[in-house]
Chain A
Amino acid sequence: MTDKVELEKAQQRQLNQTAYRVLKEEIRQRYPRGRFVAISGGRIVADAEDIKALDPLLQAQGLYPPDVLVVQAGVDYPDFAIILSSLPRA
């Protein structure tokens, strides 16, 4: 993968992560808890009860599923998590 492609992917990734933070409350209100919602290009592009069912919906729109952010409505992701691993830091 070229540096330019990598940079574009990283930018798209960050766009979708930011969009999720903005859309989180809307997603919670619009969709049943647990429903899988796909975000691409900073906007919601599909939703489904089963996460595997999203793949054909995304591909039909010309999207590459591994680059599409998928979240679950109503799931509260913490801002920070602690890994209580017994492993020392490398």
Chain B
Amino acid sequence: MTSTSHEQRNPYKGNPPRPWIRLRLRSFKDTLSEIDLLADTGSPFPIIISEASLLLLKRQAGTDMETNFGLLHGGWLELDMPELGLTQRVEGYGSDVVAATVRSSSPDFAGLAGLPLLRMLEYGGDTTSFWVRPAATS
């Protein structure tokens, strides 16, 4: 991963190669955790991680959701990435099925970053890497 003060650029990772983003989250106990998430515009949820990770990181509980990957347990997660303009809480979800599925691409992946989160940023890619940077302010 390389970062300027305003861009995070990550070489594709896994088999097959996948785009990904590294997020920093602040837990209720005020600890910071960095997790690598597969970037997936096909996911309608901001963040999906394992049940155990959600239990450790959630600030408040969220609504549960039935999906084609089974039941997702909701939990509000606090982003701590001022360099990308991300300091708000987003409604994350816990699913061991989704977490195991993304780990089949790379054991480094802790889950999925979906379109609602990617839309908080600018994002793109080329032949070698995927990048995100703060959303342009108009």
Contact = CB atoms under 8 A, between A and B. Distances in A.
Interface of A: 13, 16-17, 20, 38, 51-52, 54-55, 65-71, 77-90
A70 B62 contact: yes
Contact of A65 (B59, B63, B67): B59
A74 to B, nearest CB: 14
Contact of A69 (B38, B63, B65, B100): B63
Interface in B26-62: 28, 38, 40, 42-45, 48, 58-62
Given A17-B64, A20-B63, A86 B42 contact: yes
A77 B63 CA distance: 8
A38 B59 CA distance: 12
Interface stretch (B2-10, B101-109, B117-125, B130-138): B101-109
27 contacts: A16-B61, A17-B63, A20-B63, A38-B60, A51-B76, A51-B89, A52-B78, A66-B58, A66-B60, A66-B61, A69-B62, A70-B60, A71-B63, A78-B65, A79-B66, A81-B44, A82-B67, A83-B44, A83-B48, A83-B68, A83-B112, A84-B42, A84-B43, A85-B69, A85-B101, A88-B104, A89-B69
A51 B77 CA distance: 11
Given A17-B63, A66-B28, A87-B104, 12 more contacts: A17-B64, A52-B89, A55-B59, A66-B59, A69-B63, A81-B67, A83-B42, A83-B68, A83-B112, A85-B43, A85-B101, A87-B102
Interface residues of B, number: 34
A74 B81 CA distance: 28
Contacts of A90: 97, 100-101, 104
B125 to A, nearest CB: 15
A54 B42 contact: no
A81 B104 CA distance: 22
